[in-house]
Amino acid sequence: MTLKPRITNRKQISGTYIRIIKMALKQKLHLVFGVITIFGAAGFQLWIPILLGSSVDIAMDVFSAENADVSDQLIFSGVLLLISSIMRGIFTMAYNYSGESIGQHIGYELRLLYYQKLQKLSFSYHSHIHTGDLITRGILDIEGVSMFVRTAVLRSIYLVVLIGTGTYLVLSTDLVLGILSLSFVPLAGWRATAARLQLRSSWFALQEKLSILSKVMDENLGGIRVVRSFASKTHEMDKFDRASEEALTIANDQVQVKSKNVSLIGISFLAAMGLVLWVGGLKVINGSITIGELTTFLAFMSILQAPVRMLGMMVNAFARGAASGGRLFSVLDMSSDIEDSQGSTNLTITKGVLKFKDVHFGYEGEHTLNGVTFEAKPGHAVGIVGPPGSGKSTIAHLIPRFYDPSSGAITIDGQNIKDVTLDSLRHSVSVVEQDSFMFTASIDHNVAYGNPWAEDLDVETATRNTQMYQYISRLPNKFSTMIGERGVSLSGGQRQRLSIARSILLNPKIIIFDDSTSSVDAATEQKIRVALQEISKDRTSIIISHRLSSLMHADEILFIEKGKIIERGNHNKLINNNGKYAELYKLQIRPDDKNKSEKIKNER
C-alpha cells in the first residue's frame, strides 16, 4: 500500500477544504467561542510587549526621580502585565479547547461515516482492497483531517491576527526598527515550512517501512507454526532486520533535518535581534526612541518567534488535511453496486420458493456461472456438487445479493431479489460458510450474533441440534466461555457447528450450507443432518459440498462444472446416469459409506 497523497488537482484540494470547513461549521457554538477567544488571546499577547516597554520607561524615571508617583506606576504596570499574561493564558486555553473540540467532533463523525460506508460497500470492493489498508486508511486519514481542524483552522485565524496586527504596530512605531525586527521572519518561515514538508515526505516513507514491519510481524505470529516447522527463524529475522534498518535510516535523516533547521531558525532570529539591538541602541543614544520602545521591539520579536515556527506546522496540517480528506472522501463518496433499488419493497415470504432462471455471472468479466436454472422449495432439499472452482459458492453468494447476476433472474416466491430491500432479503436468507468466523466474545454471544435477544433456551437448542451442547456444558464457564485469541480455541469443526447454530437460531426461511460441515467428522455430520432434516421440513435448504455423503440424501442434486449444471436428479437417477456424479461417487464412497447410502436408497 502506498500512503503518499494522491490528489494534486487544485480544484479537488479546495473542494476537500470546503467540505472539511462545512463540517466544522456545524459546530457553531464552539466556532463562535473560538473566534472570540482568538481575538482576546492575540490582543493580550500583543499588549505584553507594549506594557513591558512602558514599564521599562517608567523604571528609568526612577533614576531621574522627578516623579514621586513613579513606584506606584511601576507596581501598576507590573500588575497589568500579570493580568494580561493570565488573560492571554486563559484565552489561549479557550481557543485551543474550541479547536480540539471541533476536531474531535469531526473525527467522531468521520469514524461513523467511514465505518457505515465499509459496511455498505459491496463484496467486490472488499475483495479488491487489503483489510489492513482499509484500517490504516481509516485511522491515519481520520486523524489527519481531525488534526487539520484541531491545529490549523482556528490557529490560522490566530496567526493572521497576531502577525498582521503585530507587523502593523512595529512598522508604524518605527519603520527601520520594524523592518529589522521582522527581518528573521522570511528565512525562519521558509526553513520551518521547508523542513516540515521534507519531514512530511519522509514520514510517508517511514510509515511504509513501519507498515512492512507490522505485516512481517503479523504474518510471522499468524503463521508461527509454519515458520518454526520450516526452521525459517533466521530468514524471518533477516526480513525484519532489513525493514527495521531502513526505518532507522529514515528516522536518522529526520533528526538531521530537524536539528539543521532548528539551528538555522535560531541563528536568523538571534542575528535579527542583534541588528535591532545595534540600530535600536544608536537610536536610543541619539534620542529618537526610548529604552522602553526598544524593549517593546525586542519583546515583540520574542513573541513573534513561536508563531513563525508554527507556520511550518500549519503548512503540514494543511497538506495532510488535503491528502487525508481527499482519500477519505473518495471512499465515502463511493457508491455501492449492491444497494436497495428505487421503490424496493420488503420481501414477502409466502412459501419460500427460490428460483434461479438462466443466471449468468462473472467476477471481472470471467464467466463463472453460465445459465444456471433450478428451483428449491420448502421441504425439498437441493444439493450442489462439482469440482473446486466450478461456481458452487458463487451460487450461494448470489442469493443474499453479495453480488448481482449479470443476466437472468433470481426470485423468491415470485419476487425478483433485486426489487426487495436488502435488509428483508438478508433476514430471510442465511448462508453458513465453510470458513466460520467467530468474534472474540462468549459462546452465547457468538451464537446469538444475529439475534441478541434470543432466549437462552433457544441458544441451547441450536447448539444441541449442531452437536455442540455436550462440549459447551463441560466447559467451566459453559455458554459464557470466551472464544478467540483470549479464550478457548475451537477446532475447525467446532467453529463450523457453532456457525450453523448461529444461522438456525435466526429461523431463516432459506438456508444455504456452503461446505459448512467440511471439517466435521462423518459421524457427527450424520447426527447434525438428522437434526437439521427435522428443522428443515418447512424451510428451503441448499446444501453445497464437495463430500457426497453430505448431500446424497437431497431431493435434487445438481452437478455443476465450469458454471453449468451438467447433471441433475436424485442420487439414484444420477448413479443410473453413470456420468460425472457416478464417477465421483465411485471415487469418494468407501465400502462402509456404501452401506449407508444403500440405507438412504431404501429409505426413499
Sequence-separated (6 or more) residues with CB below 8 Å from residue 477: 442
**Distances in whole angstroms, Cα of residue 568 to Cα of each of 353, 372, 573, 582:** 18, 12, 8, 12
Tell me how far CA of residue 62 lies from CA of 32, 187, 281, 285, in angstroms. 45, 40, 20, 19
Residues listed for the chain: 604
User: Is the Cβ of residue 166 or residue 405 nearer to ligand ADP in the bound state?
Assistant: 405
Residue placing its CB nearer to ligand ADP in the complex, 392 or 571:
392
Cβ of 116: how many Cβ atoms within 10 Å? Answer: 11
Q: Which amino acid is at 524?
A: T
Between 144 and 563, whose beta carbon lies closer to ligand ADP? 563
Judged by CB under 6 A, the stretch of 381-389, 437-445, 524-532, 596-604 that binds ligand ADP is 381-389
Q: Nearer Cβ to ligand ADP, position 78 or 389?
A: 389
Residues 32-61 that bind ligand ADP (CB under 6 A): none
Residue 391 within binding range of ligand ADP, rule CB under 6 A: yes
Q: Tell me: does residue 126 bind ligand ADP (CB under 6 A).
A: no
* Inter-residue contact 419 to 344 (CB < 8 Å): yes
Angle between helices 233-285 and 184-222 (to 10 degrees): 170
Q: Choose the binding region for ligand ADP from 51-59, 88-96, 100-108, 383-391 (rule: CB under 6 A).
A: 383-391
**The binder of ligand ADP chosen from 54, 183, 324, 390 (CB under 6 A):** 390
In 3-state terms the chain splits into helix, strand, coil percentages (rounded to 5) of 65, 10, 25
Smallest gap, in angstroms, from Cβ of residue 543 to ligand ADP?
Answer: 13
Asked if 122 interacts with ligand ADP (CB under 6 A), we say: no
388 binds ligand ADP (CB under 6 A): yes
Amino acid identity of 39? Answer: F
Nearest approach in angstroms of CB 128 to ligand ADP is 8
Q: Compute the distance between CA of residue 290 and CA of residue 296 in angstroms, rounded to an integer.
A: 10
- Interface pattern 332-371 for ligand ADP (x via CB under 6 A): -------------------------------x----x---
One-letter amino acid at 163 equals I
Between strands 556-561 and 382-385, the pairing is parallel
Q: Which is nearer to ligand ADP, 76 or 363 (CB)?
A: 363
Q: Which stretch binds ligand ADP (CB under 6 A): 113-121, 386-394, 467-475, 569-577?
A: 386-394
**Would you say 290 and 57 are in contact if contact means Cβ atoms under 8 Å apart?**
yes
What is the size of the binding site for ligand ADP (CB under 6 A)?
11
Q: Which is nearer to ligand ADP, 105 or 564 (CB)?
A: 564
Please report how close the Cβ of residue 383 comes to ligand ADP at its closest, in angstroms.
Answer: 13
Q: Indicate the residue among 407 and 477 with the shorter CB distance to ligand ADP.
A: 407
Query: In this structure, what DSSP letter does residue 387 have?
Result: S
Of 389, 456, 583, 595, the one binding ligand ADP (CB under 6 A) is 389
Which of these ranges, 78-86, 260-268, 332-340, 389-397, lies near ligand ADP under the rule CB under 6 A? 389-397
Alpha-carbon distance of 441 to 452, in angstroms, equals: 13
Element (H, E) at 28: helix 28-64
Which grid coordinates are listed for 539?
A: 424451510
| Sites of contact with ligand ADP (CB under 6 A) | 127, 363, 368, 386, 388-394
